[in-house]
Amino acid sequence: MCGIVGTLRGREGPPPDEGLLRRMLGIIRHRGPDEFGIYLDDRAGIGSARLSIVDLETGQQPIPNEDESLWIVFNGEIYNHPELREGLERAGHRFRTRSDTEVILHLYEELGPECLHHFNGQFAIAIWDTRRRELFLARDRLGIRPIFYIPLPGGLAFASEIKALLLIPGVEARLDPYALAQAFTFWAPLAPRTAFEEVRELPPGHYLRASEDAFPLTRYWSLTFPPAGEELGLTEDEAAEELRALLGDATRLRLRADVPVGSYLSGGLDSTLVAALARQHIPQTLCTFSIAFEEAAFDEREYQETATAFLGTDHRRTECTNADIGRVFPQVVWHAEAPLLRTAPAPFYLLSRLVRQSGIKVVLTGEGADEFLGGYSIFQEDKVRRFWAANPDSALRPLLLQRLHPYVAGLAQTGDGFLRAFFGQDLLPTDRPGYSHLLRWRNGARLRRFFSPALSGLLGEYDPVEEFLSALDGALLRWSPLAQAQYLEVTTFLSPYLLSSQGDRVAMAHSVEGRFPFLDHRVVEFCNRLPPQFKLRVLREKHILRKSARGLVPPSVWQRRKQPYRAPIVPAFLSRPPDYVEALLSPEAIQAAGVFDPQSVLRLARKCRSGSHISEPEEMALVGIISTQLLHHLFIERFPPAPIGEIAPLRVYRGRTPYSTAV
């Protein structure tokens, strides 16, 4: 795992600046503190901050091909690189290293962009072709690893994190109003848009070929499902057996490393099953990690202890207090580089710190199971609403809604009337694209009432939902309702938020690489072909996964009803407010940033401090306002921070002549 950066000179503009590349690597050195490398010629400069995991001795980047006409920097892992290497060696390619990075380069040399279809992994790739004077950027299928770029008057620049691009002379950080509208609807900006104007994110499953001043984007992989009724014709037992085998092999591949591999273990089905599958391949004790909370409503340590006792792992746990969340939240926003409508990334930031302090660089984790096997309550809500819509006058059908959110404190006391009113909105147009998610998105959009008049006026009639839905493939409505909902969840939540702010960014803040067996593309494509009733049996989520997990995890875990991962919000910021909260929520600070209306924010803060009941949208608004104010403070008012981290040792290559320097 690494951080990568680069600049490309267009027809005009200055040649690549070694000093700039050093500073860009320095500001993201947390992604790869082990060693650094730069390649420069008259047209391009690329650099790497390396986290050494595979081929510790000879895998330094950048890496050239045999005649040094191609140079690569790479962030990620290609898990099937030994098998790919065998074929390349038979084809006559000569290797200088044992790294997966060099395998990418030679396969690109052989196949061009078609090589991407052969990779089982998570990746952000940059290859400079010195002969064609072309820069190739590519991102993995689901967007596990990030890559950002910005067109410049004299060319293009790219980096693993936005902060590196903001160091470029002439690039001015400005919050993108349309990205803010997206974030306060979907919980995150949707690629290619980012929180900052002009900075773009390479979308998942895409590559870019930059030559001169043209930067065309190409999609090479799409998330897809079969038409309703044309799913796989397997029995449940056959499907459970194949899923178990695929997950087992995906986990085996993700244990390939030249350093120890640990595993997150929340106490839920997904992470416990991943740890169990990893335990089959690791003869020594597997090290597992979890989060515990001071508030019982969020704490799962009872299930964690059951799981670790059953598996016999070496377990470590971080105790996360409300004050801890408030204390580290500015660092979390610094790494997330986007507005946050949840505090959930903060405990993961603390957890990854524990992993690193334990001497572990790599952890397995269970993300993806809920999205691809029907684990979220939004899928259950959609099913109940469609069932209700078929007989909208029924008094019994909406009663099913009472079964969906037992973990939400106080919801049962609100009465059936609240549930009917909320979930009964726009009940009947079930053939409308986005039906499953419209209530959630509408709930998010309510937060935009806190926007300042100036921002609201600038946005005008802009509707993020309409923009997103209008770009959807017409095939969506031919899929089952569950498949439609899964597609929307992956596209608007998994890739832009869960794998980013709650995944890569907080883990790599402490130089920890997450690996995701459920996101192996073979697992994803198999799950997508399964009949919907294998995933959501009546209202029981992840039915086929529970069947696959029997015997591998404790019955109390595989039979357990899902408890979504959540973290405290209001107590983290306002019980004993950190100094920055009062400062950022002051009318003066709100006015200066220009995003929110000072009086609306003042009323919200007073209500949160009063001890009155705070609704979920109000909690989301509070954390969204604080995180956006932090973005403005960290990236606009006080950027860049000083000092930027030193990078040493550093290897520098100029054209075809390599030399080394120690910095």
Write out the H or E segment, with its range, that includes residue 21: helix 18-27
How, if at all, do strands 287-293 and 314-320 pair?
Answer: parallel
Contacts of 225 (CB under 8 A, 6+ apart): 479, 480, 483, 486, 487, 528, 529
**Order of strands across the sheet that contains 287-293:** 314-320, 287-293, 261-264, 362-364, 513-515
- Beta bridge partners, 319, equal 292
Other CB atoms within a 10 A radius of the CB of residue 283 amount to: 7
Please give the Cα distance from 512 to 352 (Å, whole number): 6
**Which of 339, 6, 18 has its CA nearest to residue 164?**
6
Give the whole-angstrom CA distance, residue 296 versus residue 299: 5
User: What does the alpha-carbon distance between residue 67 and residue 481 come to, in Å, rounded to a whole number?
Assistant: 52
115 assigned to active site: no
DSSP state of 490: I
- Distance CA(200)–CA(44), nearest Å, equals 19
How many angstroms separate the CA atoms of 527 and 524, rounded? 5
Can you tell me the distance from the alpha carbon of 71 to that of 16, in angstroms, rounded to the nearest whole number? Answer: 15
Which secondary structure element, helix H or strand E, spans residue 419, and what is its range?
helix 416-423
Rounded distance between C-alpha atoms, residue 22 and residue 646, angstroms: 9
**Residue 32 to residue 118: CA distance in whole angstroms:** 26
- Output the six-digit token pair for 87: 């074929």
Give the residue among 287, 291, 285, 320 at the shortest CA–CA distance from 304: 291
Q: Is there a contact between 340 and 623 (Cβ–Cβ < 8 Å)?
A: yes
Helix ranges (DSSP H) in 512-661: 521-528, 532-535, 543-549, 555-558, 570, 579-584, 587-593, 598-610, 616-632
Residue type, 413: Q
- Asked if 397 contacts 296 with a C-beta cutoff of 8 angstroms, the reply is no
Q: How far is CA 625 from the centre of its chain?
A: 21
* Residue 48 dihedral angles phi and psi, to the nearest 5°: -140, 135
Q: How far apart are the first and last CA of the chain?
A: 22
657-43-68 Cα angle (round to 5): 40
Phi/psi for 246 (5° steps) reads -65, -45
Alpha helix locations (H) across 268-344?
A: 269-279, 301-311, 322-336
User: Alpha-carbon dihedral of residues 402, 407, 411, 416, nearest 10 degrees?
Assistant: 0
Query: Which string of DSSP letters, residue by residue, matches 348-381?
Result: HHHHHHHHHHTT--EEE--TTHHHHHT-SHHHHH
Q: Phi then psi for 573, rounded to 5 degrees?
A: -105, -30
Q: How many CA atoms lie within 13 A of 186 on its CB side?
A: 31
Which tokens is 458 given?
Answer: 């600038």
Catalytic residue among 2, 115, 287, 320: 2
Residue 176: which region, alpha, beta or left (left: phi > 0; alpha: psi -120 to 50)? beta
Go through the chain and tell me how many residues it has.
663
User: Per the structure block, which two tokens stand in for 594?
Assistant: 């220009």
As annotated, the active-site residues are 2
